[in-house]
Amino acid sequence: MTECLDLVDVAIDIFYIGYFSWGEGEVGGRGGSGDGRKWGWWVGREGVGSLMEFATHGDLYTLWLLENAFQESAVCIYTAEIAMVLEFLHNAGIIFRDLKMENILLDHNGHIKLTDFGLSKWLQKNQRTSTICGTLQYMAPEILLEEDYTHAIDWWSLGVIMYTLLVGRYPIDGAKNHYTMQRKVLQHRYQPPEHVSKEAGEVLALLLKKNPKERLQALREFEKLPFYRDFPFEQLLKKNIAPKNFLRRKLPPTLARKYYDSSSAKRRRKLGQRAHEGLSEFTFVRLKGHLVEFGLSVHNTLSRHAMIS
C-alpha cells in the first residue's frame, strides 16, 4: 500500500547529534512513495526538523470550525483515509499517539496528510508501551488509567475525531488535568445524537470501546461494516475521489486567516476552545512512576530530540 505514503508526513528517524547539518532526498524507498517529490531534513542544537510538501489548505480542525457537523458521506471519506494511514503506520511498527484534527493537514482536494510525529514511537504489533502522552481530549481510557497500551489507542482517537465531525462538538468537554479527564471518560456514555445514522453510530460504538481488546482496530474490519459497505477504498487510496466534493460548502482557496476569522468560524473556535481548555498546550509524561506535566515549549524540544524513538 505504497500510495498511503501520500497521506503521511515524511517521518525521519534521526536523533540529536549536537551540530547543524542539512540533507535532502527523494520521497521514495523507505522515505516515501517514489513519485519524485523532494523533502529535506536538518539537525541543530535544538533538535531535528523536516521539510515536507506544502499542505495548501490548512488542517482538519480549521475546516471543522468552518463546516460545523460534516455530512456523513464526508465523514465516511475522512475516517476511511485516517484508517488507511493508521493501518499503514501500525503495520510499519509505528504507534502515533497524538492523533487529532490539528495534526491532519489538507491538500487542495481535501485529502489528508498526517503530520507531527513528535510523540510517535517504534512499536511492533502486540507489543505494549506505558508513557502517558498525547492530547487529553483524544486520550484512550487505558492511557488515562496509566496502564500499558497498544496501537489500539490511535483507533480510540479516530473515534473521537469521527464523533466530533458527525456531531459538531467534542463528545466530552475538556479538562485541565489528567485525573479529571480520566473520571469524565470512564463515566461518559458515548451515545451520539439521534440524527446520526445507525450505521455511523455502530462505527462509533466500536471505536470508542473502553476495553481496548473489544475496540475496532483494523482496516479489514472497517471495510466490513455497513457504514463503509461498497465504499471504494482503492479508488480513495489512488485519490480518484476528492473529499472536497462532499463538504457542505465549497472548500476555500485556502484556510488562511481571513477565512478563519469569519463570524461562523469565530463561533466554532470559541466552542473548540471551551472543549480544549488548554489541552493542546500540554503533554503528559510518566517518569519514574511520577506524572509530570511539560509545557508546550519543553515538549517541543524534547520530542524533536527523538522523532520516532
How confident is the model at residue 251, as a pLDDT?
78
pLDDT, tens digit (0-9, with 9 covering 90-100), for 24-83: 444 333 333 333 355 666 777 766 676 777 788 888 998 998 888 999 999 999 999 999
pLDDT given for residue 145 in this prediction: 94
| Single-letter code of the amino acid located at 119 | L
Burial of 130 (0-12, 13-18, 19+ CB in 10 A): exposed
Catalytic residue (choose from 59, 98, 107, 154)? 98
Alpha-carbon Rg for the chain in angstroms:
19
User: Could you tell me the pTM of the whole model?
Assistant: 0.77
Among 80-94, 198-212, 271-285, which stretch is predicted with the lowest mean pLDDT? Answer: 271-285
The predicted pLDDT at position 204 comes to 97
Give the structural domain span for 8. Answer: 2-51
- Both 28 and 157 in one domain: the answer is no
For residue 175, which amino acid is it? A
Together in a domain, 195 and 222: yes
Q: Is there a single domain that holds both residue 94 and residue 193?
A: yes
Tell me, what CATH number does 231's domain have?
1.10.510.10
- Regarding whether 191 and 217 lie in a shared domain, the answer is yes
pLDDT surpasses 80 at 228: yes
Neighbouring-strand partners of residue 49: 42
Exposed / middle / buried, residue 93 (Cβ in 10 Å: 0-12, 13-18, 19+): middle
Asked whether residue 172 falls in the same domain as residue 264, the answer is: yes
For residues 28 and 110, membership in a common domain is answered with no
Tell me, yes or no, whether 26 and 149 share the same domain.
no
> Residues 152, 212: contact at Cβ < 8 Å?
yes
More confident residue, 137 or 18: 137
Does one domain contain both 21 and 144?
no
- Mean pLDDT across 195-222: 96
Q: What is the pLDDT of residues 253-304, one digit of tens each?
A: 665 545 555 555 555 555 554 444 434 333 444 433 333 333 222 222 222 2
CB of 261 closer than 8 Å to CB of 65: no
13 is catalytic: no
Please give the Cα distance from 115 to 15 (Å, whole number): 18
Q: State which amino acid sits at residue 259.
A: Y
Is residue 41 domain-shared with residue 67, that is, in the same domain? no
Number of domains in the chain: 2
Residue 260 and residue 164 share a domain: yes
* Percentage of residues in the chain having pLDDT higher than 70: 66
Q: Residues 46, 68: one domain?
A: no
287 and 207 both lie in a single domain: yes
Q: pLDDT at position 176, please?
A: 82
Q: What is the mean pLDDT of the chain?
A: 76
Q: How confident is the model at residue 167 (pLDDT cuts 50, 70, 90)?
A: very high
Instruction: Enter the C-alpha cell of residue 232.
Output: 471504494
